[in-house]
Structure 1
């Protein structure tokens, strides 16, 4: 078809969200990260990324690439709020009884049963009976494995139920077990979260003895046969590459990481995934957003945080990866629209000496994530003025304000649940210069620290926490880095601000060097601070003439 065909206003590169993306199947770009996710040899199983970085797209594509080989467990099916609300769990937690063994056993059970149901299509009592019979015959010579199977029979009433029903069954059983072992009906008061009824004589002692008593009960309720069942899974159920399976748990939600109990639950889910790594033909993938992952305290209660961190795949994109992803999408969108398009270069303006390379111009205004780049270009296509065969530079600059406002709102949506009122903090920087000197930046940070004095500001707690050194300093001399670093680190990790050492180097953002702000020596007297270009139009940032010239030279 001739290249002169015009782009219609409905031409676009698909959607930024995987679940609403019509081009995902035919225009999926296989990055190195995706190949790591797919590879059963790659041990990394915790997929951590910012919103919009392509986690869900990668996992959706995995399902399409391996039909019938992927089990997806929705986070809401794990019933985390139900577990943390059970009064037995709350009471034992108040006594500082460690519930890790119970929580880990719970997740192992959920994962085991999901895999078995999938492998043998267990969806009724008859199907379960057939599966057990087949398995018993297979392992009849191994008494240890036969014993492990009895464990599954204990749950026969709920075996084919939905995941959340099975989770609730186990938790309720645990609550009854604690009562039974205490030798009395403890009468959990479900409203007050306290013990009613008769306390056994053994518990009429101090809290430490009571905690010790219950700790022994919890330790005994650890389902010992579970680990043997994992061996059965490895050697007898998914015992060949033909039966290989992936399990996906995508995007654990913020509300479950707010409380410490929920933190323990998620951490124990990670431990259960770790113990299933010895099953050769299985890969369990847990995907969650960076801000959620950072809240999980793997170091507490003796857990070995470095073990988990070595299994994390941090999804990141280079400019060349993003460009190839856009090429794939442009080709697919072209086929859809009846246009012959070989790459994204065919539908954007040519590079010129005054403006530079349009793709770099766009990438400079993204946090180097697919969703940002797709959103910007889609905005350009929908607001293009003359409907020619390619976009013009005017289309790109004309689309920037709408795109920028959209990105600022997306940043608020991403971090708002953890940092209420964050939009008020962003607004403090409206009209600020680009770049800011250290002193100028300090004055804006001071303003953020004063936000709790505003009526109706929702983020009093986090602002006071991050600015406590300012208020606790008394009349002593303030150490600049100690006072301002917590807020700087927050805005830097968001991708909202960047830093530059001296005037010769480049401004660096979190996607360039994530741990940049960890090094105090970077904050020299002549360092400068920048609001990320993605948010310039939305916040009316004032670019200094010297910086405009510098950027112009840089593009050439």
Structure 2
């Protein structure tokens, strides 16, 4: 053991770590230890369509945005929390039209286009004084070639120009109030007794609903959508037209609670459409970070008849990490920890950890207990360092002692990550407890399913958890077969990363975090084999054998 760290005369101290789980509080490491995987290069390239960062929690989305802000001169951050969109959620008039069936997607796109346009202009012209505010539009228009095709854009800027300098939330409220007024004013005397709120929308007759939808559709289509399209062209042609001077707008934190859930999905869908439309401005790149599970929920909640998911694929920057990239990341972090506290000699992870754990190399052992994302790897190493106080290396015994707590925390984290999509996942995970590390689906009996579901909680017939719905149908209503239920259950386990699936003897084992190329539903049979991910062996009491 001593041969691996010749010349290193230190011992790990209490609270030593190689960084934190989130980029926002990882100041000591994130800049010095950043590993370029090719993703940052794609974001910085204005010609690359990649501008929606998609990844699971802990895969490095926020770190990418933060690093972009450190390297580029013109980066505008737009936190969704600052938009104060609760005003929209609480709008009685908008709720009335939504409930009646009016599609307000164009309005939500208008909102984003308006916000992003204003943020760009405020940043570009750096207005600081009242005089500059008064002269801004006149100076701007003097530089624009005033052809007729841009007249609507200029009128739009004139109308809203004096409000550009208000706080974002006031601009959002102002625009929403204008739309509310136009929607409300579109009705005649026949609706004088109708209450303009969600309850009123529910009480409409079918004839009234059709009239409301007709009025609402006309108003939404007329609310300066064409003008804003012209504004985007004006921005591209006359204002942000220097290919050597790039501007970036970054939007992170969409998974946080910034507006009520149902509206959040519609606003995120509208944001994706807006990002797509802003591609026309070649020297401006709007970059959005979104968790994979949230993106899936948005698409499912807002899917309409004309929706084509492949239209957005070119925008997605899907984060993936190789073993080598994760090793480079850990080497940089271990090197910084040791260099800053103990020695100036470069030190790598392999020098401080055992070569092997049993018959497996330590690095393979570590990466097998991650979803191949930075957060997992960092937290695994931190768990080991926490138990290595006063030691100069991390032993196999220390790793074994640390793994149980790491496994427990990762299981809790998985439930938190996917809880919005599968609210009861923490309960039906019990199906995997004390199972062998690999098993055929046919080894799970109906009696074992019934025992877990009856003993652990009562059925919630109104649950929006797909597994609970399937279990209710199968166990209570005798709908479907055991295998059809297991297909749904293990599809969820597969999606969240709890298990890998090997459909048959000749196919590979699929893991959701390796690629999007998963097993087709029809290929999963009773003889298909499930492999419990080794991250969760300790927390689930998995039986390990050959």
TM-score, normalized by length of structure 2? Answer: 0.89
SS in 1 for 2:102: coil
User: Relative to 1, partners in 2 of residues 1:347 and 1:448: Cα closer, same or farther, differing over 3 Å?
Assistant: farther
Choose from 294, 317, 320 the match for 1:292.
Answer: 294
* In 2: Cα distance, 1:505 partner to 1:9 partner: 47
Structure 2 distance, partners of 1:522, 1:242, is 52
Stretch moving more, 436-445 or 242-251: 436-445
TM-superposed CA distance for 1:449, in Å, is: 7.6
Task: Check 1:157–1:231 CA distance in 2 against 1; reply closer, same or farther (3 A cut).
Answer: same
CA distance in 1, matches of 2:519, 2:53: 24
Would the aligned equivalents of 1:328 and 1:343 in 2 still touch at CA under 8 Å? yes
Q: For 2:103 and 2:506, how far apart are their aligned partners in 1?
A: 54
Query: Shift of residue 32 of structure 1?
Result: 1.9
Q: What is the deviation of 1:204? A: 11
Structure 1, unaligned stretches of length 5 or more?
A: 548-556
| Partner residue of 2:341 out of 337, 340, 350 | 337
Question: Which residue in the other structure is 1:281 paired with?
Answer: 283
Pairwise CA distance, 1:416: 1.8
Work out whether 1:30 is the aligned partner of 2:30.
Answer: no
1:274 Cα deviation after fit: 0.8
Give, in whole Å, the separation in 1 of the partners of 2:206 and 2:530: 61
Question: 1:467 deviation in Å?
Answer: 3.3
Between stretches 533-542 and 219-228, larger displacement belongs to: 219-228
The aligned counterpart of 1:270 is 272
Deviation track 1:269-309 (CA, whole Å, cap 9, x = no partner) reads 21111111010101111111111100123641524322112
**Distance change (3 Å), C-alpha of 1:322 and 1:23:** same
C-alpha distance 131-304 of structure 1, shift in aligned 2 (>3 A): farther
Instruction: Give the structure 2 partner of residue 413 of structure 1.
Output: 416
Which residues in structure 2 correspond to 1:202-281 (within 5 Å)?
Answer: 206-253=208-255, 261-281=263-283
Whether 2:326 is the aligned partner of 1:325: answer no
Aligned to 2:3: none
2:130 is aligned with 1:115: no
Pick the aligned partner of 1:493 from 475, 492, 495: 495
Q: What is the aligned partner in structure 2 of residue 65 from structure 1?
A: 71
Q: Which runs of 5+ in 2 are unaligned?
A: 1-5
Note the C-alpha offset of 1:249: 0.9
User: Within the alignment, does 1:523 sit opposite 2:504 as a pair?
Assistant: no
1:543 aligns with 2:544: yes
d(CA) in 1 for partners of 2:184 and 2:470? 43
SS at match of 1:317: coil
Does the CA-based 8 Å contact 1:492-1:517 persist in structure 2? no
Deviates further, 418-427 or 105-114: 418-427
CA 1:415–1:132: 2 relative to 1, 3 Å: same
Q: Which moved further from structure 2: 11-20 or 79-88? A: 79-88
| Aligned counterpart, 1:554 | none
Partner of 1:427: 430
8 Å contact 2:510–2:519 — kept in the other structure? no
Match of 2:183 among 178, 182, 192: 178
Q: Give the direction of change, closer, same or farther, for the CA distance of 1:495–1:444 in structure 2 (3 Å limit).
A: farther
Counterpart contact for 1:121–1:127, Cα < 8 Å: no
Counterpart contact for 1:330–1:341, Cα < 8 Å: no
**What residue in structure 1 maps to residue 20 of structure 2?**
15
Following superposition, the deviation at residue 24 of structure 1 comes to: 0.4
Q: Which moved more, 1:151-160 or 1:372-381?
A: 151-160
Deviation at 1:61, TM superposition (A): 0.8
Deviation at 1:20, TM superposition (A): 0.9
Corresponding residue of 1:550: none
- Segment of structure 1 superposing worse, 16-25 or 218-227: 218-227
1:398 partnered with 2:404:
no
| Cα contact 2:424–2:468 (8 A) shared by 1 | no
CA distance in 1, matches of 2:445, 2:423: 22
User: Who is 1:552 aligned against?
Assistant: none
Query: How many Å separate the matches in 2 of 1:238 and 1:322?
Result: 38
Counterpart of 2:59? 53
Deviations 1:97-156 (A, max 9, x none): 222222222111111111111111235653333331221111154344354222122224
| CA–CA distance in structure 1, aligned partners of residues 487 and 324 of structure 2 | 33
Distance 1:419 1:221, change over 3 A: same
Deviation at 1:473, TM superposition (A): 6.9
Distance between the aligned counterparts of 2:519 and 2:477, measured in 1? 22
Asked if 1 retains the 8 angstrom alpha-carbon contact of 2:96 and 2:199, the reply is yes
Please say which of residues 397-406 and 449-458 is displaced more in the overlay. 449-458
Q: 1:189 Cα shift?
A: 5.0
CA 1:473–1:484 in structure 2 vs 1: closer, same or farther (change >3 Å)? farther
Q: Residue 375 of structure 2: SS of its match in structure 1?
A: helix
